Chains A and B, each alone.
Chain A
Amino acid sequence: MSSLGKPMNRVEDARLLTGKGTYIDDLPVFPNTKQVMIMRSTLPHARIKSIDVSEALKMAGVEGILTGQDLRQDLRQDLDYLPVGVTAPVEYYPIAIEKVRYVGEPIAVIVAKNRYIAEDAIEKIKVEYDPLPAVVDVEQAAEPDAPILHEQVGSNVANHRYFHYGNADQAFAEADHIIKHKFKFPKYSATPVETYGVLASYDHASEVHTVHANFHGPFILHSLMAKALKVPSSHLRLITPKDNGGSYGIKAGLVPYIVLMAAVSKKLGLPVKWIEDRQEHLMSSSSGTDRVTYIEAAVKKDGKVTGFRMKFIDNVGAYIRAPEPACLYRNHGNTTGAYDVPNLELETMAVMSNKCPTGLIRGYGGQQTYFPLERMMHIIAQELQLDPVDVIRKNLIATEKFPFRTATGGVYDSGDYFKAFNLVVETGKYQELRQRQEEARKEGRYLGIGFACIVEPSGSNMGYVTIALTPEERAKSLPKSGCPEAATVSIDPMGNVTVRISTTPSGQGHETVTAQIVSDVLGIPAERIRVIAELDTNTSAWSIASGSYSSRFAALGSSAVYHAAGKVKAKLIKIASSLLHTPEDELELQEGRVFVKGQLEKQVPLRRLTGLAHWNPADLPAGMEAGIYETAYFSLPQAIQPDENDLINSSATYGFVADLVLVEVMPDTGEVRIEDYFTVHDAGTLLNPKIVDGQIYGGLAHGIGGALYEELMYDHRGQFLTGSFMDYLCPTAPEIPRVTLKHIETPSPLTPLGAKGLGEGNTMSAPAAVANAVSDALEGFGVRIDTLPLSPNYIWKLLR
């Protein structure tokens, strides 16, 4: 009767599809709540000479207006800057203090009776600026003569590291070919339907900030927020709503707004509500990180890559804010992807510029890493006149090498990359596609075929962020490791089960899968299990890694649930053992009862066991506590801190994705059409294949957005140009091609259910696969794709 592994419908969908979800804007507000509007900088870089709010304050309905200076000077002990993830002395406040450093940076907070008044009040505020030169290009920003954003840092480079693994010098000396190229990955975003929202209230009696926000972790950031507000972390009560209207990582960027609203609420003595609008979201919430990559491969004449030299330059925007520069390092353990390449030299830089600060979006660092890597495999095939399939096979990690230790310290827990890759080649009928391509060319049409093979890391090891520091710098503070997640399973006096999770889902169906797991362990129908997904930092079991990011539910969240349910089961068996006078190992729990193996008549219903724990604890076995309430924390012992050689197993589990895509490019219009998309995934054991497929289709749509449509654009002066969905293009249903999805399952040996994360997959692979296909189509034109998105304008220009 196991429900795991079955394509169960999602319990969330009924309420979501009938408009009964509870999102941040649906929550009841604190009494006397006022609405907030944020005035934002229209200049990319300037000193603030003055902000005159006097006219705006006179407007009826305006309750208060606060600027950076008000919050900093009048409330100095309450608003410190947010700690950043590097040693560079960057001061990051949630509101501009003396300078603005990007278009959209908050400069004043207007609190009013309603949003209309607050928005109108902005027009009455007079800001005088002293404009400064701006820089948006990451390589220019890294130059010594670039305009400096943070004077006390002295340069725009916030983080700079060199890594050496194996012997790259020797690999390059012995190479038959050295192939190099420069790639640019653009700044693009995640665009959930629901934008940011915060409700904040401060209780002067208990000195507690209560904040509701559609934040989803990582909850390590809770400690940063409490620090910025200068309150004990127990006094920042952060609660997430039941439903979150999508995030794809970007809602980790709520941190400054949670701090800002908490500080404003305290200062004005009023509860406040802020709901971000779409323009704000595109301009100033957060975004993916744009990266320039220089990559060089040492290649043998058969296509075998023996070494890489890489340089990553990440544009982290105006402030490097935690968890950045993690875009550089989340994939550190899998820098060489699906390939067996033992020698690597890597230089990493995080550079600040006058763009919106960056952070998590689906794939975080993966698409930036795999775009150049997978393009290189294709370029190697082109240069050596080999079939890309052969080059990939020449370099894929052999099946018998798992668990595989990468050059950088990643430990790929399981996999069969050849099986998955062969399956995609076969499913897509690769040879037939080549024939079609040849025939089309005769008709003057340009078809192209592209592959991508990527490793999908899931469940970040929190220790990876410290790889930004040198081993010597790391040695100065206590080590960080692990990926802890928590869950609580309880049974009330009437025998009903409640599960509390801390994985803050934003549409991934965690309630459904949690109920499936608990149902399997306790032999209770899933419908009878109530799952509470709201996280409350004052009452939930949680830890620094809690939250929804890095595809951690299937690997870690589900494991915590499994163990918590296991603890409850163990207790129930113990009670049954005393009631049935039978040793525990002779008992079995199934379908709502415990019975003696082979003697079905000797049984006791679960209700009786749980009832005993509540109604009659005197009859419990000696020494046993009353009640049924078990919490489990789960982390992986393999998620250890980086070592002195900078080896880091940056994630808990590693899945695999192989893509094959067929495109047609129209040389007259520059349009790229995806004709067919084949993708094979290995995410270990699948807990709910229906949810899995939904996640994969969503990730693929986002990946196609990155490949063809999405870019947050700035002009050379730092003005932001894509503030609406007419300027920032997202794919909609008609843009999504036919997709053929297949799975193989090599269970993870590390997680109790054998599952791995899978929520990001094609977000990371599709930009590379599509770019490879477009390059393949346009090979005759001498075109080599090295940037994205592949808009008709861009392709058209390339062809002329």
Chain B
Amino acid sequence: MNGKGSITLEAGVEQAWDVLLNPEVLAKCIMGCNKLELVEEGKYKADLSVGIAAVKGSYSSTIELADLEKPKRYKLIVKGEGGPGHVEATGVVDLSAVDANTTTLNYEYEAEVGGKVAMIGQRMLGGVAKLIINDFFKKFSKEVKQAVGS
């Protein structure tokens, strides 16, 4: 399963980058994120609870930021495992400045799921992924706006 999209952020590229890499912001923006703690440079441990179709449950996950090219580009690797199965997703986030106060964010993702999520959630998966991602960026633009305002 894969997808891509883009949003416009009302902030300069440097500022958008800083917000994007702030773990507190990440924790707030990721749907169902109960806990996010730094385990090593660029690597977080998270507890996520997500429901996909009839498959509800929690995943203990690692979120890793890799291939950082400040302030332009990085890769986000999410690996989750739990009762409902496992998820492995990779996202690439690309920032480009439109002007001093506007940035375009392009993203692409690829995800693989296994176990119960795959066997009974497959029909819903594409929709759920879109929902989670759209929700993330909606919350994220809000956070960026707030950061600019403060």
Contacts and interface: CB of A to CB of B under 8 A. Distances in A.
Contact of A279 (B82, B86, B116): B116
Interface in A271-329: 279, 282-283
Nearest to A44: B114
B122 A727 contact: yes
Contacts of A283: 119
B120 A103 contact: no
Interface string B81-115: 01101100000000000000000000000001111
A596 B85 CA distance: 76
B57 interface: yes
Interface string B70-89: 00000000000011011000
B82 A723 contact: no
Contacts of A720: 118-119
A279 B119 contact: yes
B123 interface: yes
A726 B120 contact: yes
Contacts of A268: none
B113 A727 contact: no
A601 interface: no
Interface in B113-133: 113-116, 118-120, 122-123
**Residues of A contacting B: mostly:** loop
Nearest to A41: B115
Given A42-B85, A123-B82, A721 B115 contact: no
Contacts of B120: 279, 723-724, 726-727
Nearest to B115: A42
Contacts of B122: 721, 727
Contact of B114 (A42, A122, A123): A42
A145 interface: no
Contacts of B54: 724
Interface string A711-732: 0000101011111101100000
Given A42-B114, A43-B114, A720-B118, A726 B123 contact: yes
Contact of B118 (A122, A282, A715): A715
B83 A123 contact: yes
Nearest to B82: A123
Contact of A727 (B57, B83, B112, B123): B123
Q: Size class of B's contact patch?
A: 10 to 19
B61 to A, nearest CB: 14
A103 to B, nearest CB: 7
B83 A122 contact: yes
A719 to B, nearest CB: 4
A726 B122 CA distance: 10
B123 A722 contact: no
A726 B53 CA distance: 11
- Among A122, A283, A723, residue most surrounded by chain B Cβ atoms (within 10 Å): A723
Nearest to A715: B118
A282 B113 CA distance: 18
A721 B126 CA distance: 14
Nearest to A723: B119
A279 B84 CA distance: 12
A122 B57 CA distance: 12
A720 B121 CA distance: 11
A282 B116 CA distance: 12
Nearest to A282: B119
Nearest to A43: B114
Contacts of A721: 118-119, 122
A122 B114 CA distance: 16
Contacts of A279: 116, 119-120
For A719, A720, A721, which residue has the most chain B Cβ atoms within 10 angstroms? Answer: A719
A282 B54 CA distance: 16
B112 A717 contact: yes
A719 B83 contact: no
B30 to A, nearest CB: 21
B82 A103 contact: no
21 contacts: A42-B85, A42-B86, A42-B114, A42-B116, A103-B118, A103-B119, A122-B83, A123-B57, A123-B83, A279-B116, A279-B119, A715-B118, A719-B118, A719-B119, A721-B118, A722-B119, A723-B116, A723-B119, A724-B120, A726-B123, A727-B123
Given A103-B119, A720-B118, A721-B119, 9 more contacts: A42-B115, A43-B114, A123-B83, A279-B119, A279-B120, A717-B112, A719-B118, A719-B119, A727-B119
Interface of B: 54, 57, 82-83, 85-86, 112-116, 118-120, 122-123
